[in-house]
Structure 1
Amino acid sequence: MGRIDRASRVIAAPPATVYGALLHRESLEEWLPPDGMRGRIERWDPRPGGGFRMVLTYLDSAGSPGKTSDATDVVDVGFAALVPGERVVQRAVFEADDPAYAGTMTMTWHLAATDAGTEVTVTATDVPPGIDQAVHEAGIASSLANLASYVEAGD
């Protein structure tokens, strides 16, 4: 198994609410892109064996060249497991010519009820070596902060 990147955050919302935001197309487009990016989902099939294709666009690509083009990362994501209120397992493949971004990365979103809401832990395994670990973990943390803002505003 390759490298493992991880981030977690407690979100002031019940697990069912957080789980819903992980499986709602418009929600994902809003909160999943980390700071400095915007996202658009091109294909959506929210079931085990289904998945989605997301185009992430850098708002300023000068210091962060994309994996697919100078300004974009395109990723095909398959849903490997969906356990309501507990876990979402995704298999992500980046569209890139550079072999440093090749392979399938597994992203597991684990939800655990706490007194304060839901602890969301994201674990990325088999991360392609071209993805900088510190940048990736900061990106996951940014997405988690966006998710918290999104679901907490809805309560």
Structure 2
Amino acid sequence: MGRTDRATRTIAAPPAAVYDALLDRESLEAWLPPDGMRGRVERWDPRPGGGFRMVLTHLDATGAPGKTSDATDVVEVRFAELEPPELVVQQAVFEADDPSFAGTMTMTWRLVATAGGTEVTVTATDVPPGIDQDAHEAGIASSLANLASHLETAG
């Protein structure tokens, strides 16, 4: 595979708060689903080697069918590396019959303190070829906007 997608956003919150939102089940359900989706975590184990299973449901599957079913994307995520409050590395595998969505995608969340809060850079490597690059990068940017909104209104 080998493709890399990324997005960056500065969030008006300290790195520790951003890191905590990456490892809190309820927070993750609130902000991770990009626009047009909702998410539900079915299993949660926030430690290195642990992970979670998330069901993402398309609010309108017309024109953007899911990977697992017409309306859903189911993803198994393993926490490969956790370095508070600077780094979260996840390995994600989508449940899909279509081989173009197969493989393990690595999502690296890098948190860097800035004068305005925290610069969050998400880098997705080994992105399955069935995932449209523009749509994926827009989805990551949407999740980051949701994260910013979640933290900036909570704090």
Q: TM-score normalized by structure 2?
A: 0.99
SS state of the match for residue 119, structure 1? strand
- 1:115-152 CA deviation, whole Å, 9 max, x = no partner? 00000000000000000000000000000000000011
Give ranges in structure 1 of 5+ residues lacking alignment: none
Amino acid at match of 2:135: V
The separation in 1 between residues aligned to 2:85 and 2:15, in whole angstroms, is 5
**What does residue range 6-155 of structure 1 map to in structure 2 within 5 Å?**
6-155=6-155
The separation in 2 between residues aligned to 1:83 and 1:32, in whole angstroms, is 20
Aligned length: 155
- 1:92-130 CA deviation, whole Å, 9 max, x = no partner? 000000000000000000000000000000000000000
Amino acid at match of 1:141: A
Identity within the alignment, % = 79
Please give the root-mean-square deviation of Cα atoms over the aligned residues, in Å: 0.6
Residue 4 in structure 1 maps to residue 11 in structure 2: no
Amino acid at match of 1:74: V
How big is the shift at 1:48?
0.1
The separation in 2 between residues aligned to 1:117 and 1:131, in whole angstroms, is 31
Give ranges in structure 2 of 5+ residues lacking alignment: none
How big is the shift at 1:154?
1.3
Q: Which runs of 4+ in 1 moved over 2 A?
A: none
